[in-house]
């Protein structure tokens, strides 16, 4: 009878380490994707004529989270929960985005969220990249002259705030007068060192009425809140670096899934 040599069935730990370090690993990153904290700048109206009624008053804040449902076009359905007319938040980070809405086509044109005016950014419309350039050059592509002869751009600035509300991170988008109100607040306060109270006030220009957000430093953070904020700022910076690294690898995105707000949807 021929004897067979016994073969070890268990690989040693040193060989396992060599295998682990030799095997190529796919590079990935964590996309910053947060539920939204929103704000109704104008009354929400339902019905027409005598049947018309205000369903939600201007100045109301709401939380918006993605549900498990899909609409008829297969897009994610977002569910809103109203939370009142004043809120307290910790503002963790601020970023930027370019956006434009075409009322005739009902299409959003938008850039990814970015941090520096010198960045070369893609613009997407209806899931297709339509331009790629610096912020100034992109705005120049959409310049027009208004009735008073003033030169403007249809591609508007948006301020993106990452905030903590009731221990959860949200994305709060600011535009128009609310964005300028925040800029004034930020010039006079160390924003991440305070609990910020946000409410609003009614504004009127001609026939247009709206509510503008008002920002107030309510109190300084506790030590625990400050340490948590520092940790969240650090995590956000790392996620941004990874996200930008991914965009550098992908020179052109031409079929990007966008949500109903013109943002790139989560994959």
**47-96: per-residue pLDDT in tens?**
888 889 999 999 999 999 988 888 887 788 889 999 999 999 999 999 99
What's the chain's Rg over C-alpha atoms?
24
How high does pLDDT run on average in the chain? 84
9: Cβ–Cβ under 8 A, 6 or more apart, which residues? Answer: none
Which pair of tokens denotes residue 21?
Answer: 């370090």
Contact at 8 Å (CB) between 181 and 167?
no
Three-class DSSP category at 12: coil
Backbone angles phi, psi at 4, to 5 degrees: -100, 145
Digit-coded pLDDT (tens) for 4-40: 555 455 656 776 666 556 555 444 444 678 999 999 9
Strand 107-110 relative to strand 87-102: parallel, antiparallel, unpaired?
antiparallel
Strands 156-165 and 168-174 come out as: antiparallel
Half-sphere exposure in the Cβ direction for 71 (13 Å, CA): 9
Q: Are 121 and 134 in contact (CB under 8 A)?
A: yes
Instruction: List, in order, residues 6 or more apart from 45 with CB less than 8 Å away.
Output: 52, 53, 54, 55
| Best CA proximity match to 106, nearest among 123, 128, 132, 125 | 125
Where residue 248 falls among pLDDT bands split at 50, 70, 90? Answer: low
């Amino acid at each position: 009878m021929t004897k067979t040599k016994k073969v070890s069935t268990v690989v040693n730990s040193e060989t396992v380490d060599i295998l682990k370090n030799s095997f190529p690993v796919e590079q990935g990153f964590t996309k910053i994707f947060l539920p939204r904290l929103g704000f109704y700048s104008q009354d929400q109206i339902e019905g027409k004529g005598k049947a018309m009624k205000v369903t939600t008053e201007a100045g109301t804040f709401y939380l918006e989270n993605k549900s498990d449902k899909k609409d008829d076009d297969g897009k994610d359905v977002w569910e809103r929960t109203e939370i009142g007319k004043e809120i307290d938040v910790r503002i963790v980070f601020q970023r930027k985005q370019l956006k434009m809405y075409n009322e005739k086509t009902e299409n959003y044109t938008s850039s990814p969220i970015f941090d520096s005016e010198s960045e070369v950014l893609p613009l997407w419309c209806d899931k297709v990249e339509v331009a790629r350039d610096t912020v100034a050059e992109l705005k120049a592509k959409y310049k027009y002259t208004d009735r008073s002869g003033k030169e403007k751009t249809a591609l508007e600035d948006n301020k993106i705030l990452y905030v903590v509300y009731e221990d959860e991170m949200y994305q709060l988008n600011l535009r128009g007068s609310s964005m300028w109100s925040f800029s004034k607040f930020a010039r006079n306060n160390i924003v991440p060192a305070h609990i910020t109270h946000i409410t609003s006030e009614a504004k009127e220009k001609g026939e247009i009425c709206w509510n503008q957000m008002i920002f107030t430093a309510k109190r300084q953070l506790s030590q625990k809140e400050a340490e948590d904020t520092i940790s969240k700022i650090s995590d956000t910076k790392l996620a941004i670096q990874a996200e930008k690294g991914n965009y550098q690898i992908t020179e052109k995105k031409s079929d990007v899934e966008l949500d109903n707000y013109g943002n790139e949807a989560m994959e």
